[in-house]
Structure 1
Amino acid sequence: MAAGFAQAGNQLYTGERSYRFIQRSNLWFLIAGILIIASVAIPFLRGGFNFGIEFTGGSEFMISQTENTEISVGEDAVASVTDQEATVTHIAENTIRVQTEELDDAETLEVGQALQEGYGVGADQVSSTFIGPVWGDHISQQMMIGLAVFLALVALYMALYFRTWKMSVAAIAGLAFVVVVTVGIYAATNFEVTPSAIIGFLTILSYALYDTMVVFDKIRENLASLHEQKDQTFTERVNLAINQTLVRSVNTSVVGILPVGSILFIGSWLLGAGTLRDIALALFTGIIVGTVATIFVQAPLYARMRRGDADIKAHTEEVLALREERLELSEGKIASITASGTPLDEDGKPVAFPPLPEPEEEDEEDDPVELLDLDVVLSGDTAESEGEEQR
């Protein structure tokens, strides 16, 4: 299996096998647009996000060293005192967290007593804290500032590194796609949005940027000699770069998904450790969406923005004209051409394009003007030499 995977990677790198990513960009853009619309609509349909107490404010109770970790016990304890809905989480071994909206002092004492009785612990094992909404607003504001600064620095770095603003715009568009889709998944799953989740968002943006840099750097390398060759068009060169880095992108994503998936599925759902669930979902979703965005959004978008340039259009027309001329010379031996520009026969095996005929050289002897000039020069030289001998 490993040998077959390595062989497939070599075929993708050399262009023997190629997937038409750029050529099907209209389909990818349509799917991306649907995902963006759905991600924006889901929060409105579900009534917003499930923001944590750090953003909304409220009361929080921590029950430690308890043998009973059932969620329903905490919910019943809060319901016996107030009609406010409680969020109960098993955050660690023998530790329960109960969050509610803001409670007054009397309600806080009553809920604390109910939790002691429900979980069978002492007063020193139940602690309560209060988080005001002002602090939550401050956290939200800092989050937006951090995201804006990050995107601005990314755009500047991409423009300086690749020396083209179009790559920078394509990269930022892909990062925006990652953020919107990941936020939509959070809204759809009703996972709690906490400061840890925000950290996860910034982490996946950095991860997605790394994958983007790998693919775009290969695109720039392939385009460096674009006009020096006439075998591949601009679109085929960009598509070849994606295929050449496809195996690396997939391997990197799998390596990142495995530990994060262990935290999300095993640690959170099977073992009940809910403290890492919010950041794990952001990382798990972001790694997948980031890889997809690079291949299906960012690189095709850059190709779409560049292929209308005058030099690109002229080179593409020249390559296609030469290819058509070679196809006529092949006398039916070439059945198709791959996305990387490799001609194939009817059996799907690579064949070589027949060489174009050499241009005919002009015969200088047929030019009477040149012969006349030559006679004049020779006659002049002869007369001059005869005069020197007479002297």
Structure 2
Amino acid sequence: MRSEYDEKKFNFVKASKPFFIFSIAITLLGIIFLSIFGLNYGIDFRSGSSVDISISKPITQEQTEQFLSAHNFGEHTLTTAPNRLSIRFKDALSDQQEKQLRADFNEQLDDKASFEVNIVDPDIAREQQNNALIGMAVASLGIVAYITIRFEWRFAIAAVVSLLHDAFIVISLFSIFRLQVNLPFIVAVLTIIGYSTNDTVVIFDRIRENLRFAKVKTAADLAMLVNRSIWQTLTRSINTVITVALGALCLFIFGSESIKLFSLAMIFGLISGAYSSIFIASPLWLVLRRNSNGKKAAKASSAG
């Protein structure tokens, strides 16, 4: 089954061990950061108020901080961008405080400023957090069921490990860089899971198709079949990721502040998804297949 053509190609299967080690190391690093620092939850997942102000003239961060301190609106974080200020208050603003903030800001800093205020109480924050986790769990279980029915359980395990790897990489990066986690972030993670599974299924489908016509006699033959299947689908996988990643990059550069973190999560996830589909999912299926065949051979030998 091995050919000179195969020998000249990069062997993804042979190089899988360093990639397994790399992914395990990144996962452990992510666990450490998550256990120490946790996630930087946005207004969607914790109680408080979010105030986004579109300004018509330059206002420095120092000016805004002086304004907020003078009015004692409570503990807050402030981020600035061209023509925009974003303020996150730890406690929810009352109606009176919100009206005072609008009126005083227009009077003292910018009379043409416009406001977008979102308030979340603790019960709603907990409910949204639970619903987000349930949504991710249901999506993962649905993917497991689909791949098990369409392929086999070894493909399903490899695919789930791959998609969990991608989701965890994105979550870890947001924890490490203290990026804000909100509802658009959850949408991005679910979208990433879908794209990652799509790339993985394409490779698995080619492996299954090649298995039908190949004469696999040894473990080396099976490894070469997996490697060849990856190469046969590589161009499609790369083109798909580049196309979507370019769209996400444009949204990140030119989009509004509200979708920048969504776009960034998509970029992280798309890169991780392409990597895991090629270097994690398929070699992991091969390991599971070899182990299964080895146990069958051992049973047959003992029975004889």
- State the SS of the aligned residue for 2:228: helix
1:68 is paired with a residue of what secondary structure?
coil
Residue in 2 that maps onto 1:278:
261
Q: Is the 8 A contact 1:58 1:100 kept in 2?
A: yes
CA gap 1:306/1:229 in 2 versus in 1, 3 angstroms = closer
| Alignment check: 8 A CA contact 1:307 1:313 kept | no
Aligned partners of 2:95 and 2:248: how far apart in 1? 40
CA change 1:100–1:247 in 2 (3 A) is same
The one of the two structures with greater contact order (alpha-carbon pairs below 8 A, sep at least 6) is: 2
Per the alignment, residue 39 of structure 1 pairs with: 30
CA distance in 2, matches of 1:282, 1:306: 33
Q: Does 1:172 align with 2:160?
A: yes
Hey, what does 1:138 align to over in structure 2?
Answer: 127
1:75–1:86 CA contact under 8 A, matched in 2 = no
In structure 1, list runs of 5 or more residues that go unmatched.
1-11, 315-391
- Residue type matched to 1:308 in 2? N
One-letter amino acid of the counterpart of residue 275, structure 1: S
Identity %: 24
> Where do 1:1-391 residues align within 5 Å?
15=6, 17-45=8-36, 47-64=37-54, 66-68=56-58, 70-82=60-72, 84-88=75-79, 90=81, 94-102=83-91, 103-104=93-94, 107-121=97-111, 125-126=114-115, 128-162=117-151, 164-227=152-215, 233-264=221-252, 266-267=253-254, 273-310=256-293
TM-score, normalization: structure 1? Answer: 0.68
Larger Rg: 1
Following the alignment from structure 2 to structure 1, what is the Cα–Cα distance between the partners of residues 292 and 50?
Answer: 59
Report the CA distance shift for 1:254/1:106 in structure 2 as closer, same or farther (over 3 A). Answer: same
Amino acid of the structure 2 residue aligned with 1:137: R
Q: For the structure 1 residues 52 and 236, does the alpha-carbon distance in structure 2 shift closer, same or farther, using more than 3 Å as the test?
A: same
Structure 2 letter corresponding to 1:171: A
Cα separation, 2, equivalents of 1:311 and 1:63:
64
Q: CA deviation at 1:227?
A: 3.4
In structure 2, what is the equivalent of residue 376 of structure 1? none
- For residues 67 and 18 of structure 1, the distance between their equivalents in structure 2, rounded to whole angstroms, comes to 58
TM-score, normalised to structure 2's length? 0.85
Over aligned residue pairs, what C-alpha RMSD do you find?
2.8
8 Å CA contact 1:74–1:115 kept in 2: the answer is: no
- Preserved CA contact (<8 Å) 2:230 2:278: yes
Check 1:287–1:231 CA distance in 2 against 1; reply closer, same or farther (3 A cut): closer
Alignment check: 8 A CA contact 1:159 1:165 kept: yes
Q: Which deviations, in whole Å up to 9, do the C-alpha atoms of 1:21-49 show, x marking residues without a partner?
A: 1123222211110010111112334x222
- The alpha-carbon distance between structure 1 residues 289 and 104, as it changes in their structure 2 partners (threshold 3 A), is same
Structure 1 residue 299, shift from structure 2 partner: 0.6
User: Is the alpha carbon distance of 1:110 and 1:228 closer, same or farther for their aligned partners in structure 2, counting shifts above 3 Å?
Assistant: closer
CA contact (8 A) 2:78 2:85 kept: no
- For 1:125 and 1:254, the matched residues in 2 are separated by 37
Partner secondary structure for residue 87 of structure 2: strand
Please give the alpha-carbon distance, in whole angstroms, between the structure 2 residues aligned to 1:81 and 1:231. Answer: 72
The alignment partner of 1:80 has SS state of helix
- Answer whether contact 1:21 1:239 (CA < 8 A) is retained: yes
| CA distance 1:16–1:99, change in 2 (3 Å) | same
Q: Secondary structure at the match of 1:23?
A: coil
Deviations 1:302-343 (A, max 9, x none): 0000013338997xxxxxxxxxxxxxxxxxxxxxxxxxxxxx
Q: Name the amino acid aligned to 1:287.
A: L
- In structure 1, C-alpha distance between the alignment counterparts of 2:237 and 2:296, rounded to whole Å: 30
Distance 1:312 1:236, change over 3 A: farther
Q: CA deviation at 1:172?
A: 0.3
Alpha-carbon distance, 1:263 to partner: 2.0
Q: Deviations over 1:53-79 (max 9, x none)?
A: 111121233434633365444333223
The one-letter code matched in structure 1 to 2:140 is L
Q: Is the 8 A contact 2:49 2:120 kept in 1?
A: yes
Summarize the Cα distance change of 1:224–1:232 in structure 2 as closer, same or farther, 3 Å threshold: farther
